[in-house]
Copies of this chain bind each other. A is one copy, B any other.
Amino acid sequence: MNFKNLFAGKYALVGSLLLCLSCLGLQAQNSYNSQPASTNVPGAEYPRLDSQLRGIFRVSAPNAQKVELNLGKKYEMTKSSDGFWMVTTDPLVVGFHYYTILIDGVSVADPSSESFFGGSSMQSGIEVPEAGVDYYLPKNVPHGKVESVIYYSKNEKRYRRCFVYIPPGYDKNPNVKYPVLYLQHGMGEDERGWSIQGKMNNIVDNLLAEGKCKPMIIVMDNGNIAYMKKRPAMPAPGASEESRKEFTQFLMNFGSDFYPIFLDDLVPFIDSNFRTLPNRESRAMAGLSFGGFQTLTITLAHLDKFSYIGGFSPGLNDQAIQTIYKDVPAFNRMVKTFFLSTGSVEREGNSNIKDLHEALDKAGVKNVYYESPGTAHEWLTWRRSLHEFLPLLFK
């Protein structure tokens, strides 16, 4: 059981910031040559990003004693005579980062920012643009649609919401059936993550327009891992076998109520209500972080239902993974793509995913490994992972 790299949202931001040594100490408050972030609410001039991708944050709090910015790294903000608190950060890694503001110690969303569900609450987020990269931006190509869909779960005895991406042309070709990718969010997040933070619809639209992936339906449900009731402490190196077992058991149980919902309620609902190809050759599952743990847990136990598997910075379910080695030729025959990815920055902290890839290679298990350069356990790693994974599906 590997313990790291499991926590999306606020649990995972540490290490997500690029430390630019030449800029240390140069926290200029100057907003010269800066632009409001695209993630701001309409009309909000701050936060801004300057030409070096430093974030300039500002909060009006004339009566507060202390205001801080938590962007993984914590920054103290400085009060001006006009009651505004400001800070300029180090240059930020491109992509999407969750953040919060601490007003006298209370961690809250920045009123100037759009909010995003991560870290089990509605946090702020800042999108740092990536020069010359547009695969996750809307372009002049045919656009699919993301549908908000209500279905009834017999297991939970309640209505649930999932999001379903349908590709361009779905409506106009009523006799065409499509393969399906089930795509899961991380811990502390929910079914909104992939279409909002992940911009998955743009990624698919753009790949489709280039002819680089097959038209498919993509289903994004809530993995029942939005909230952790009790999280046992992660065992320290050299921790007792008992505390390791306890933590393993916790991980095995966390979000496990999703499995029957997924298999017995969701997949049959999708196959009944969308024009799917309802067979294992046309069904894929992928997930990020703990959603990757869930993906490995579900798919490796149900190779009769899935032939494409993706783990994006996945939590590694060793028990499930061990089943692969029992019959490698069978696994290689059954699984068309077994995709693993991680960010290079998170890999520097914990190489467990790369280690798994190498162990699989050594054992002759077909697999694809992708490492996102310069990124940590964060959404840009997962946008890139999806971008690499989709062309491998349903060939």
Contact = CB atoms under 8 A, between A and B. Distances in A.
B104 A65 contact: yes
A322 interface: no
Contacts of A61: 104-106
B150 A143 contact: yes
Nearest to A150: B143
B145 A149 contact: yes
A386 to B, nearest CB: 18
A301 B117 CA distance: 41
Contact of A108 (B111, B195, B229): B111
A325 to B, nearest CB: 36
A30 B62 CA distance: 33
A41 B120 contact: yes
Contacts of A295: none
A57 to B, nearest CB: 14
Interface in A28-85: 41-43, 59-66
Contacts of A149: 143, 145
B150 A147 contact: no
A140 B152 CA distance: 8
A109 interface: yes
A114 interface: yes
B104 A122 contact: no
Given A113-B122, A117-B41, A145-B148, A104 B107 contact: no
B117 A122 contact: no
Interface of A: 41-43, 59-66, 101, 103-109, 111-115, 117, 120-122, 138, 140, 143, 145-152, 159, 164, 171, 174, 190, 195, 201, 226-229, 273-275
Given A42-B226, A43-B228, A147-B148, 9 more contacts: A61-B105, A63-B106, A111-B122, A140-B152, A143-B149, A148-B148, A150-B201, A171-B171, A171-B174
